[in-house]
Amino acid sequence: MHGKTAGNPFFAIQFISALADEGLLAFDHGNGRWSWDLSLIHAKDYTDNVVELIVGKMNRLWLQTQKALQEFACLGNSTEIGTLSIVHGTSEEELHSDLWEAVRLELVVRLKVSYKFVHGRVQEAAYSLIPEELRVGAHLRIGRLLAAHIPPEKREEAIFEIVNQFNRGATLITSPDERERLAELNLLAGERARASTAYASALKYLSTGTALLGDDCWERRHELAFALELHGAECEFLTGESAAAAKRLTVLSSRAANTVEVATVACLRVDLYTTLDQIDRAVGVGLEYLRYLGIEWSPHPTAEEARREYEQIWIRIGSRSIEELIEMPLMNDPVSLASLDVLTKVLPTALLTDANLVSLAICRAVNLGLERGNSDGSCVAYVWLGMIAGSHFGNYKVSVWSAWL
């Protein structure tokens, strides 16, 4: 026993079970003891590989049981009963019947709402029953079944199960429409993984989604391609692949189709260059975005330019009271919101390069809020205005006004 199993409890149990199944180990009820014949056992020449041992046991099972185990192995070490019944193509009652012998032989265990292989080697053995050339097709079939039968309201919850199966069978997908649908699923999986801070896993899903799209994806599915590339760049940034993120964002900035997309890329580039301590480049990205809007600012504007923007604030306020300013409607213009995002992103970096640029950016953000309505970004701008109004423009009363807002 020790020679075959090296003392591993799981291996030992499987080996003992195999001997019992073959009639080479039996209990002598008359004498109240176990009996065996070592010469017959040695003659059988059992393998030292526990997976081969379990495969031999599985090959003696009913074909429907083998099929269920193979499907189960494709899904992983454990899976919900409902999911496995979808893949098996039967009711849950029929699934339990098909797996009963595997449960009896202690290959799998039935829990409250799921099945689980008793050991990773059992899953490995079940998976090896599928001919290698058929495994890709098996995963694709499972992916299609899950996508078709899992209700839409549970789709997001089961997204990783669906996508993992599809991705392993993706090489067999030739339809552009189906490849695009799978790219959408990979985007959803990437967003879910990213929200859980699993950035490396998210990047794999997003990269897979991008690879599934055709050469004409920017014309056919621009929003999908843009989202995959943007989130991919963000995950590269968050996993320390800064050079790859910078390269991807540079290309993506030229692919942006509208102002909101341009601003979204600009915000991430500012974050990236700020983190890399490339302050001038971070400021340059913000100025490049403003140039896109037709606003030409120098990295080092004059004090007069900053003061002109500051004076516009008071022109826009006019005779309105603090209460009236507080009750202004919320900003809902997407372009204005995007522009405010860029301005607030640039503020911390501009603070390190030029005092006039900081003042100019703060005042432009405040003016944008006064003109288009309040937003989260407006709050930031109002606070910053209180910080610079006295020191930069000699108006110390504004600090009190900003605090009230």
pLDDT at 186: 97
Give me the pLDDT at residue 286, please: 96
The pLDDT value recorded for residue 17 is: 82
∠ Cα 319 325 331 (to 5°): 130
Radius of gyration of the chain (CA): 32
Please give the order of strands across the beta sheet that includes 78-80: 78-80, 114-117, 108-110
Given a contact cutoff of 8 angstroms between Cβ atoms, the answer to whether 206 and 237 are in contact is no
Q: What are phi and psi of 110, to 5 degrees?
A: -95, 120
Predicted pLDDT of residue 45: 66
**pLDDT of the chain, 405 residues: tens digit per residue:** 787 777 788 788 878 887 888 888 899 898 899 998 888 877 766 666 678 888 888 999 999 999 999 999 999 999 999 999 999 999 999 999 999 999 998 899 999 999 999 999 899 999 999 999 999 999 999 999 999 999 888 888 899 999 999 999 999 999 999 999 999 999 999 999 999 999 999 999 999 999 999 989 999 999 999 999 999 999 999 999 999 999 999 999 999 999 999 999 999 999 999 999 999 999 999 999 999 999 999 999 999 999 999 999 989 988 888 888 888 899 999 999 999 999 999 999 998 999 999 999 999 999 999 999 988 888 888 888 888 887 778 777 765 555 444
With vertex at residue 188, the alpha carbon angle to CA 138 and CA 215, rounded to the nearest 5 degrees, is: 80
The 3-state secondary structure of the chain, one letter per residue = CHHHHCCCHHHHHHHHHHHHHCCCEEEECCCCEEEECHHHHHHHCCCCCHHHHHHHHHCCCCHHHHHHHHHHHHHCCEEEHHHHHHHHCCCHHHHHHHHHHHHHCCCEEECCCEEEECCHHHHHHHHHCCCHHHHHHHHHHHHHHHHHHCCHHHHCCCHHHHHHHHHHCHHHCCCHHHHHHHHHHHHHHHHHHHHCCCHHHHHHHHHHHHHHCCCCHHHHCHHHHHHHHHHHHHHHHHCCCHHHHHHHHHHHHHHCCCHHHHHHHHHHHHHHHHHCCCHHHHHHHHHHHHHHCCCCCCCCCCHHHHHHHHHHHHHHHCCCCHHHHHCCCECCCHHHHHHHHHHHHHHHHHCCCCHHHHHHHHHHHHHHHHHHCECHHHHHHHHHHHHHHHHHHCCCHHHHHHHHC
Q: Taking a C-beta distance cutoff of 8 angstroms, is the pair 118, 106 a contact? A: yes
pLDDT recorded at residue 335: 93
Cα-based angle 26, 122, 7 (whole degrees, multiple of 5): 60
What integer pLDDT is reported at residue 46 of this predicted model? Answer: 66
What is the torsional sign of CA 80, 83, 85, 87?
A: negative
What residues does each domain of the chain span?
2-48, 303-404
CB contact at 8 A, 68 and 126: no
- pTM, to two decimals: 0.84
Q: What is the pLDDT of residue 57?
A: 86
Integer angstrom CA distances of residue 255 from 176, 204, 236, 339: 21, 22, 19, 18
Question: What is the per-residue pLDDT for 322?
Answer: 80
CA dist 355 to 53, 303, 363, Å? Answer: 75, 9, 12
268: which 2 tokens? 């991430």
